[in-house]
Amino acid sequence: MITHQDASFQKAIDAVESLPVDDREELLEILRLRMAEYRRDEIAVNARETLQAVREKRAKFGTVEDLKKDLLKKPTRCMEN
């Protein structure tokens, strides 16, 4: 079954394919740069949240082995229900 989202996505692809090659290349470069900017913003948000967790003493520090032990001894919320 084709959804509205699939149809819209296909229309976007068709529109891009109708462009001259130079325009397609420029579009790809613009999208690449925007995705990099989006990812940088996402990393910055994660960094702020992490720093806040450290300030509030909610962050834990340790080795990968410490993490494994911690994960194995605590039931997840999904398992509690």
Number of structural domains found in the chain: 1
| pTM of the predicted protein model | 0.61
Over residues 55-69, mean pLDDT: 91
SS3 content of the chain, % helix, strand, coil (to 5): 80, 0, 20
**Full residue range of the structural domain in which residue 35 is found:** 20-80
Residue, of 61 and 13, whose pLDDT is higher = 13
Contact 55, 65 (CB under 8 A): no
- 4 within a domain of the structure (yes/no): no
Q: Does the residue 6 lie in any domain?
A: no
Three-class secondary structure of residue 2 per DSSP: coil
Please report the sign of the dihedral spanned by the C-alpha atoms of residue 43, residue 44, residue 45, residue 48. Answer: positive
The per-residue pLDDT for range 1-51, each reduced to its tens digit, is 667 778 899 999 999 999 999 999 999 999 999 999 999 999 999 999 999
